[in-house]
Structure 1
Amino acid sequence: MPNTAAPRIHLGPGHQTTLADGIARGGGVLASLADAEAVVWAQGPDTFPERLPDTVRWVQLPSAGIEPWLAAGLVDDRRTWTSAAGAYAGNVAEHAVLLLLAGVRGLTEQVRAVSWRKAEFDPRVGTLQGATVAIVGCGGIGRAMIPLLTAFGAEVLAVTRSGTPVPGAAETLPATRTDEVWSRADHFVIAAPATAETAQLVDADTLARMKPTAWVVNIARGTLIDTGALVDALRDHTIGGAALDVTDPEPLPTGHPLWTLPNALITPHIANPATGLPRTLAEHVAANVERFAAGQPLLAVIDPVRGY
């Protein structure tokens, strides 16, 4: 049922103007925690209140990945919890395509070169035209990537939990058929949530089934790839290369082989730069506050059992 008055939203920790404006745009009013119907939280679980009043019916978290919140035991079944899943999709999709293009076009070695090596580099330059790119975990980020990839002439093979057809994808497979994609696609984008089921989804066996020219892009969580197996595959040229915005461990230690392997490209978890987070999150918050006020389903509702 819609609220008869503007919903009372507690914003924490402290006052953040951009998020406060988002709450106001959604039709909410700021309130103390004791008087709140909902909470919008802008930092991590270590700053979260130990106990919420029974009046709080909804909590908005600031990130798409919620593993720390689940590990801290904060996500309960007494109220609705929402993540920021989908809010940052455009930024991350853009970065993922950048990483894939850099790998396929052979930029990893070219940008490190200090001499003219055209004869060596020329045969290594590939293209996305006519390529099949598998997006494993084709949620908001994957869906935002599809028009970018198709604009380059690529075909998308989407993998989702349910297998419900994804608009723009040439084919969609359920997660139970993920094993089929490793030998079918030319390149891979890993965008699945980090759960017990997806831990080390890309392992030695998976890598061995890929084409020797395949590039693997990870913009999800580092734990989805077996780092040791990946290093071996890159050294042995089992695959073409890997472009990672997330790693396991993270931060990636100085001196780790992934920093110097010529067919590896690392960016330090900046697909969604911190400088743009408040503005993007504020849009998501405004939409959810408006839905909360109208009694409509919220965006990015968390299922604690599934882990996202």
Structure 2
Amino acid sequence: MKVVMEPMPSGIGPGESPDVFFKEMQATFPEVQFVEVSEEADQIREVEDAEVYYGWPSRDVFLAGKDLKWIHCPGTGIDQHMAIPELVASDIPITNAREPHVAPMADHVFGFIIVLAHKLHWMWNDQKAKSWRMYDYGWKQLDLEGSTLGILAMGNIGRAVAKRAQGFSMKVYACDKFPRPSEYAEEVWGMDRLDDLLAISDWLVVTAPITDETRGMIGKEQLQKMKQGSHMIIISRGGIVDEFALGEAIESEHLAGAGVDAFDPEPPVPNNPLWDNPNVVMSPHASAFTPGLYIGRRNVFKENFRRYLAGEPFLYVCDKTLGY
């Protein structure tokens, strides 16, 4: 049996060799042939007789894999996989490593919220300038207790965000394609009540996957329906919120600010208005990059590979109809 693996440079810990996980898989499953390749031409050559692919294959790589029986996405989003129509139409399962991302991404949401609520980004600039402006912050910080946090998509990340919001005594409401009650939310509505969620949220957190349904879901019209002085947090995927319309809404002071980790495209274009807005905090799609994420990713693939060899059901099988 042969497995083709893409190298994961960002998944290498301090002091680890670049092929640490590749060698770990070889040592754990010595009877299996593992091949690690990064260039597309090499991937096309090696995948011809492989059963398993670990990574994000291009369409040409996928089509060359005549014997492929399973593809594992080391991350959460499978939008690149969904862009291959032959893969979507096939019976080849796609699994991902969704669970290790949940806690750090939910933590990052509250990093954004606390920075924006207490103007820590402004204070950081004051520190660099050696400027002491204590009284300039009077009435500019926000109370989280009693405020309303809205969540767009109550999946694993949405639920983790809602759980953390309880520690700040926030009221939580959510919209989801498949709504069901949550112990961490006052109510979870269907998507037909998105406008209601926009209207009541002091903090709107986007945790939805990028699909045909969610792409462009929040544009100028929806932003104008948001509560005056509210904030937007984008943590899942770019392309769901119109970033130029978001910049305009903040510039006009209809919205107070935003925390954004995911963009479309990435990196953002130079004229993206979010770059220079003092009320926007940006991070480079790096909200989950903790040691626990990388170790968790490795463990998910190792466990799923053990299950594959044993003929047992996979963890975290993606729905190619829904796109996640």
TM-score range, shorter chain: 0.7 to 0.9
How has the CA–CA distance of structure 1 residues 61 and 9 changed in structure 2, closer, same or farther, with 3 Å as cutoff?
farther
Partner of 2:37 in structure 1?
none
Whether 1:242 and 2:258 are equivalent positions in the alignment is yes
How far apart are the structure 2 equivalents of 1:215 and 1:241? 5
- Note the 1:112-131 alignment, pairs <5 A: 112-113=125-126, 114=129, 115-131=131-147
* Structure 1 residue 35 displacement after superposition: 7.2
Partner of 1:73 in structure 2?
85
How far apart are the structure 2 equivalents of 1:213 and 1:195? 29
Q: TM-score, normalised by structure 1?
A: 0.84
* SS of residue in 2 equivalent to 1:299: coil
Partner of 2:95 in structure 1?
82
- Bigger shift: residues 266-275 or 89-98: 266-275
Query: What amino acid is the match of 2:261?
Result: D
* SS of residue in 2 equivalent to 1:178: helix
How far apart are the structure 2 equivalents of 1:48 and 1:16? 21
The size of the alignment, in residue pairs, is: 298
- Note the 1:221-232 alignment, pairs <5 A: 221-232=237-248
Partner of 1:12 in structure 2?
5
Q: TM-score, normalised by structure 2?
A: 0.80
Q: Give the conservation status (yes or no) of the 8 Å contact 1:9–1:28.
A: no
How has the CA–CA distance of structure 1 residues 205 and 13 changed in structure 2, closer, same or farther, with 3 Å as cutoff?
closer
Q: Give the conservation status (yes or no) of the 8 Å contact 2:261–2:282.
A: yes
* Structure 1 residue 219 displacement after superposition: 0.9
Higher relative contact order (CA 8 A, sep 6+): 1
Whether 1:92 and 2:94 are equivalent positions in the alignment is no
Q: Give the conservation status (yes or no) of the 8 Å contact 2:152–2:207.
A: yes
Query: What amino acid is the match of 1:58?
Result: W
- Note the 1:13-28 alignment, pairs <5 A: 13=6, 16-18=19-21, 21=24
- Bigger shift: residues 233-242 or 271-280: 271-280
Query: What amino acid is the match of 1:269?
Result: H
How far apart are the structure 1 equivalents of 2:264 and 2:144? 28
* Structure 1 residue 135 displacement after superposition: 1.4
Q: Give the conservation status (yes or no) of the 8 Å contact 2:73–2:95.
A: yes
How has the CA–CA distance of structure 1 residues 241 and 66 changed in structure 2, closer, same or farther, with 3 Å as cutoff?
same
Q: What CA deviation, in whole Å up to 9, does each residue of 1:194-220 have, x standing for no partner?
A: 112112222222221222231110011
How has the CA–CA distance of structure 1 residues 17 and 246 changed in structure 2, closer, same or farther, with 3 Å as cutoff?
same
How far apart are the structure 2 equivalents of 1:111 and 1:63? 32
How far apart are the structure 1 equivalents of 2:271 and 2:304? 44
How far apart are the structure 1 equivalents of 2:23 and 2:194? 42
* Structure 1 residue 165 displacement after superposition: 2.1
* SS of residue in 2 equivalent to 1:91: helix
Query: What amino acid is the match of 1:73?
Result: P
How far apart are the structure 2 equivalents of 1:297 and 1:126? 47
Query: What amino acid is the match of 1:12?
Result: M
How has the CA–CA distance of structure 1 residues 180 and 288 changed in structure 2, closer, same or farther, with 3 Å as cutoff?
farther
Q: Give the conservation status (yes or no) of the 8 Å contact 2:56–2:81.
A: no
Whether 1:64 and 2:76 are equivalent positions in the alignment is yes
Whether 1:268 and 2:271 are equivalent positions in the alignment is no
- Bigger shift: residues 85-94 or 232-241: 85-94
Q: Give the conservation status (yes or no) of the 8 Å contact 2:206–2:236.
A: yes
* Structure 1 residue 144 displacement after superposition: 2.2
Q: Give the conservation status (yes or no) of the 8 Å contact 2:244–2:273.
A: no
How far apart are the structure 2 equivalents of 1:171 and 1:293? 42
Q: Give the conservation status (yes or no) of the 8 Å contact 1:108–1:264.
A: no
Query: What amino acid is the match of 1:156?
Result: V
How has the CA–CA distance of structure 1 residues 69 and 34 changed in structure 2, closer, same or farther, with 3 Å as cutoff?
closer
* Structure 1 residue 49 displacement after superposition: 4.8
* Structure 1 residue 223 displacement after superposition: 0.6
Structure 1: stretches of 5+ with no match in the other structure:
1-7
- Bigger shift: residues 39-48 or 122-131: 39-48
- Bigger shift: residues 295-304 or 81-90: 295-304
- Note the 1:156-171 alignment, pairs <5 A: 156-171=172-187
- Bigger shift: residues 286-295 or 137-146: 286-295
How has the CA–CA distance of structure 1 residues 92 and 19 changed in structure 2, closer, same or farther, with 3 Å as cutoff?
farther
- Bigger shift: residues 264-273 or 63-72: 63-72
Q: What CA deviation, in whole Å up to 9, does each residue of 1:118-176 have, x standing for no partner?
A: 33322111122112211111212122223322112223223222102234222212233
